[in-house]
Amino acid sequence: MFRTEGWKQFVEDMTDVFEGYRIEDIKDDIDLAKVQGERKILKNILAFEDAVSTTYDTLVEEDSDTQV
């Protein structure tokens, strides 16, 4: 999934959105809370590939350790 052009485009688009927030555009405390929530979700999405890869590598390493 992570090697597809669609995933790469999605991550690129989400990175642009994440980096596109400007503090000057935040109007009030409600808007601030909304932006904070959106950025938290975007961070999770952008870290997803690394989290899956790390978990997979750990499982493979544990599996190879138990087979020796």
pLDDT score recorded for residue 68: 58
What pLDDT band is residue 66 in, cutting at 50, 70 and 90?
Answer: confident
Extents of the domains making up the chain = 5-67
Q: By C-alpha distance, which of 21, 23, 22, 13 is closest to 38?
A: 21
Q: For residue range 11-65, what is the model confidence (pLDDT) as tens digits?
A: 999 999 999 999 999 999 999 999 999 999 999 999 999 999 999 999 999 888 7
CA–CA gap between residue 5 and residue 3 (Å, rounded): 7
